Structures are given as C-alpha cells and as structure tokens.
A and B are shown apart, each in its own frame.
Chain A
Amino acid sequence: MFFEGNAHKFGNDINTDYIISGKYKFKTLDMVELASHVMEDLDSDFSSKVSPGDFIVAGTNFGCGSSREQAPLVVKYAKISAVLAKSFARIFYRNAINTGLPVVECDTDLISEGDVLEVDLSQGFVKNKSSGVSIPIKPLPGVMIKILNDGGLSAHFKKYGGFNFE
C-alpha cells in the first residue's frame, strides 16, 4: 500500500468525539454525510480542506474515548488515506484495521502542517518530501496485517467463515 498526500496536523489525545461528534453519529449510517463533520469541533472547515489521499498526523493517544466505529469510517470516507500518530488508543486501532483504514505509528514530531508525505506500508516507511527526512514506522502485529490485507475483518470473515490466523 502506497499513498501520497499532505499532512494535516493535530495534537495529543484526539478523542472519538472530536473525530465525529455524538450529536451526529447516532442519527444515520450515511458515512458520506457524517464525513462532512469530521474533526468539526477542532476545525469547523476541516472536511473542505482535505484533498483525497491526505493524511491526518497527530501526537499520542489518537482515537481515545468511545468504541464508535464511525470514527475510523468517517476518516476513511473523508478520503484520508491513513492516520499517522505517535500512539493510538487500542479500540480505535482495532476498529481502524477492521474497517480497512491504515494506521501508522511513527515519530510525528518530524512532520509539520502541510508537509508532503509518501507512506509505503509494504516497505514500512514514511518519507517527508518537504523536509527530505525518512521516518521509520512501527510494524503492525501479524494478525492485523492479515486482516488489513484481506480488506478488513468483514472481508476476512466472509473469506474464511471465521478467524483464520494460520
């Protein structure tokens, strides 16, 4: 998996209420509609600033808070190709992989707002084209690579009829 786009930077502890507010997410399963509200409480124009393929880049504990799977889904539907953070909250991390949103743990201090990035998940690197710096990434656990490669957990279950990590 290879992606190229611009970095949109956020801080630490970006919780799932910020990613998609509870006041919207309970009303509909229409992810295109929900995606127009992504990160709204932090930046009211955020969804209009994103070009397809861009990255959300954050500090520690990205996705803390609720178990809402709408959070990784709206990020995906907002056409963000991957989220890069120093660390992720565990439920968001699982949900992202299960729904096919790539999540990348790396030193995001080496990325600034607007930087042009290349992310190569198969080769395992992030290249900051604006600064010329290459950033190593923490590899995903084997189980998660398997689920992501199968296209998410639903596709994995459809393919094998259950968990298959052999």
Chain B
Amino acid sequence: MGQTIIEKILSSHSNSQVYANDLVVAEVDFIMGQDGTSPLTIKAFQEMGGGKIFDPGKVIFVIDHNAPSPNEGVSALHKLMRDFARQKEIYTCDVGEGVCHQLVPETGAVGPGSLVIGADSHTCTYGALNAFSTGVGSTDLAAALISGRMWFKAPDTLKIVCHGELPPGVFSKDLVLYLTGQITADGATYLSVEYTGQAISALSQEARFTISNMAVEMGAKAGLIAADEKTLSWLSDYTDKKYQPVEPDPDARYFRIEEYDMSKLEPYVAKPHTVDNVCPVGEVSDTVIHQVVIGTCTNGRLEDLRIAAGILKGRKCNKDVRLIVVPASRKIMLDAIKEGIAKTLIESGAAFVTPGCGPCVGTHNGVPSDGEVVISTANRNFKGRMGNSKAFIYLASPATAAASAITGRITDPREFL
C-alpha cells in the first residue's frame, strides 16, 4: 500500500513500514529549544535524571522570544539556558541572531526527509523543506535530548491542492489565511497536511515557509510540501549535504482531499481574535490602524521585506501609525542593508528592532495600548497576544501591512502596485 510523505519519513526513522494511526518511536534528526520553553526543558531533563545529551551536534538552542532581555526575570532564565548549553555543549544562537524558525533552516541541517522536533508550535515551518517537523512541549523535548527519540501516533493526511497561480498583489500569506478560514482553526487537528498544486509550485521557497509555518493554526501536526529544484537550490546556499526528496506514492491513502482555485484569490486578512476569522481585505478597508508589524517567523524573510520596501519606497508612513520591522535573522538584516531595503524602510518611518520574535509574543518591542488596532504579518491574533487583551490584531501579508502603514487604515496593496 502506498504511503504519504509523513508515513515515509516516520518509516525511515523507525525501521518499519508505518501507516496512519500506527504508534511509532522514531529517531530524531534535529532538536530545537527556544527561551520560552528551554528553561522548563532543563528542569524536566534534570527530573528525568538526564546526564548526557544523546548527540549535542543535533541540538540547537535559540534565544529569540525575549531578545535582548527586557527584565531581570527573563535574564535569569536566559542565564540558566546559557549555562546548561555550555555544560552540555549545545550550540546556542544568542540575542540578535534571529527567530528559531529562520535559523534552523539556515543551519542546513534540516531538509527533505528530516525528522525534527522543536519546543515551539511553529516548528512545522520546515515542512516547506519537505521535512517532518513538529512542535512539542518542554518535557517531550527533554525526553528527546536524552534518548534521541520521540513517540508519535502516525497521523492521517489532509491533501490540499491549490490550482492556478496567485494574481499580482496576492501572496502566500493571503493563500494561507484563506486556507485557514476554509479548513478552520481545528479542522486539521492531529492531521498532517500536504500542500500541492500549481499555486504552491509557482511560489518561491521563502514564500512556501509562510504556508507551512501556519499549518498549526489549523491544528495540524505538520504542513508538508514536496521538494523541487527551488527547495534544493535554496538549501545549497546553506549546506553541501545532499538530501533525497520524499514524494507521496501515487496510491497513498489520504484522509481527505480538498481542492481550491487560487487564480482569483484576493488579498486576505484575519480579523480579531482568531486566525480563521478571515475575509478579503476590501471588507475591512475602512478600519483605522495604529501600529504595523512586518516580520516574525511567518513573514520576516528577505523577500517579505523587499515586497514591503517596494510599496514604501519614496513614501512615508502615516503620521498616526508606528511601523515596526523585525527581520527574521541577522543574515536577512544584513542582506536587507546590502540591498538598500533597510534604508528604504527606515526612510519611510520604520522602527527596526533586533532580529527575533519581536512584538509577536507580547513581551516587548511594541505592546499596543487599550483599544488600539494593529496589522501584523505574524501568525496569531489571539486577544492579548501582543501583550494587551484590549487591543485588536489583524493578520495580513507584508504588502497589505506596508500599504496600510501608508494610509493609516487597512488597505488593499494593489492600490500601490
């Protein structure tokens, strides 16, 4: 019987023929912890009586959620992480290096066929590299640090076929917001999603990360995309390692198949306070905004900043709007400087903040005030997400965010193309 991508990856990591609903204890290729989750991982590691890390070369710690530290409580937890990492020889990306979900792909250690766990829900991002990667909690991570293994119930797969190509001014973020609305916030719970079709293959590798990043917003365990030339070419910038793409078998068994025509898609936004509360941008275009955020693990890549700069070039942000830009990694920030993108954005009025999670998780770098409206390129708009439960968060593409920064209201970016 044929297998889906995830069934094949789980099979190759457990030396068995795995199908949906099988219980698997699988070898893990790469493990990631960040500063919001690693402190509890360290505590669990100690409770488990952990001594050695199974293979420190397969582990990375990233300090990105509160970086640099905004207060002494966070500083103490960062220190705990650094001390543990030093003692156990775990490679640590410290303040300023960027968001974990950009840094892990930049290591080149994750690619087609890899099995990755990370103590962060958006670990599903690397599905865009044809890897099975998924978010776990701190205790699961500690168990993997000790054993190099993790247990899974092999999930069923939801195949999403995206026909057609996206029209100009419509981006992968619009596509994934539209899909989240269709599938709903729990429509893919426990499932692996395979994204396929012309609209997906036409996207750049960077744009595909945005789609896999948000698989968890439908409840999914993974958001996988088959590898093609673009995937391998992107990886070759970071590693000499040769990966073998993992394709689903033609007779693989799918739990469900959904097909959509993306050729007439419009720019989409998610309205407060859930990610699946979506509508075309035109329906909310009179909404006055106070802050714009461009960045995060969803849309903080060079291509995203380039799209925003293309719209903001020679223009100024509205005087009543704060534009915050947070590149997803130091490399992206340097490339944005080299290409003149940073200058364009700063001249338009942007405040650049340290590469990292920035204001997305509500701890610093742009907490909104009561009643304020934010449009953000992040992946979550839950009430209180950005640190104030009386604020309102809309999610959109970098283009829609940039256009909105100019007008001071939610704006269809096609007005500026």
**Interface, chain A (partner B; CB < 8 A):** 13, 15, 17-18, 21-23, 25-29, 41, 60-61, 64-70, 73, 87, 89-91, 94-95, 98-99, 141, 143, 152-155, 157-158, 161-163, 165
Tell me which residues across on chain B come within 8 A of A141, comparing CB atoms.
23, 153
Inter-chain CA distance A143–B186, complex, in Å, is 23
Q: Which residues of B contact A (CB under 8 A)?
A: 23, 25, 35-37, 39-40, 43-44, 47-50, 65-66, 71, 73-74, 77, 119-121, 123, 135-140, 142-143, 146-147, 149, 151, 153, 185-186, 189-190, 216, 219, 221, 274, 361-363, 367, 380, 382-385, 387, 389
> Is B137 a contact of A13 with CB atoms below 8 Å?
no
Minimum CB distance partner of A30 in chain B: B73
Contact assessment for A22 and B362 in the assembled complex, using a CB-CB cutoff below 8 Å: yes
B143 contact from A23, A69, A157, Cβ within 8 A: A157
17 more CB-based (< 8 A) A-B contacts, given A26-B361, A90-B190: A17-B362, A17-B383, A21-B362, A23-B363, A25-B36, A26-B36, A27-B77, A60-B186, A64-B219, A66-B121, A67-B123, A73-B40, A95-B137, A153-B139, A154-B139, A154-B142, A162-B149
- A73 CA to B136 CA, complexed, in Å: 15
Instruction: Report Cα–Cα, A131/B363, bound state, in Å.
Output: 44
| Residues of A with C-beta under 8 A to B121 | 65-67, 91
A66 to B120, CA, bound (A): 7
CB of A68 within 8 A of CB of B37, answer yes
Residues on the B chain within 8 Å of A66, using CB: 36, 120-121
Contacts of A23 on B, CB cut-off 8 Å?
A: 362-363, 367, 384, 387
Q: Give Cα A90–Cα B43 distance, bound, in whole angstroms.
A: 22
Task: Output the residue of A21, A25, A29, A66 with the most chain B CB within 10 A.
Answer: A66
CA distance A155 to B46 in the complex (A): 11
Compute how far the CA of A164 lies from the CA of B185 in the bound complex, rounded to whole angstroms.
33
Q: Is the CB of B37 within 8 A of A67?
A: yes
Check B73 against A18 for contact (C-beta < 8 Å). no
Q: State which of A15, A95, A143 has its C-beta within 8 Å of the C-beta of B382.
A: A15
Q: Which chain B residues lie closer than 8 Å to A61 at the CB level?
A: 185-186, 189, 219
Q: A23-B362, A41-B384 are in contact. Are A68 and B36 (CB under 8 A)?
A: yes
* Nearest residue, chain B, Cβ from A100: B139
Question: Given contacts A67-B135, A99-B139, are A165 and B74 in contact (CB under 8 A)?
Answer: no
Q: Which of A69, A154, A157 contacts B37 (CB 8 A)?
A: A69
Given the complex, which residues of B lie within 8 Å of A73, measured CB to CB? 40
Contact of B384 among A21, A64, A153 (CB under 8 A): A21
A153 CA to B146 CA, complexed, in Å: 12
What's the nearest-Cβ distance from chain B to residue A157, in Å?
A: 4
| Residue in chain A with minimal CB distance to B46 | A154
Closest residue of chain A to B221 (Cβ to Cβ) is A90
Q: Is A13 within 8 A of B185, CB to CB?
A: yes
**Contact assessment for A163 and B149 in the assembled complex, using a CB-CB cutoff below 8 Å:** yes
Our pick among B137, B138, B384 for the contact of A18 (Cβ within 8 Å) is: B384
Q: Which residues of B contact A69 (CB under 8 A)?
A: 37, 40, 137-139
**Measured CA separation A29–B36 after assembly (Å):** 10
Given contacts A66-B121, A91-B121, A143-B23, contact A27 B146 (CB under 8 A): no
Shortest Cβ distance from B339 into chain A, in angstroms? 32
Given the known inter-chain contacts A61-B186, A65-B121, A69-B139, please indicate yes or no for A28 contacting B73, CB distance below 8 A: yes
Residues of chain B within 8 A (CB-CB) of A152 are 139
Interface centre among A64, A73, A161, A163 (most CB of B within 10 A): A64
Given contacts A23-B362, A26-B65, A27-B74, contact A17 B384 (CB under 8 A): yes
Whether A26 pairs with B383 at a CB distance below 8 angstroms is no
In the complex, chain A residues whose CB is within 8 Å of the CB of B50: 157
| Contact assessment for A26 and B35 in the assembled complex, using a CB-CB cutoff below 8 Å | yes
Q: What are 19 A-B contacts defined by CB distance under 8 Å?
A: A13-B274, A22-B363, A26-B65, A27-B73, A64-B219, A67-B120, A70-B40, A87-B189, A89-B219, A91-B137, A95-B137, A99-B139, A152-B139, A157-B48, A157-B49, A162-B147, A163-B143, A163-B147, A163-B149
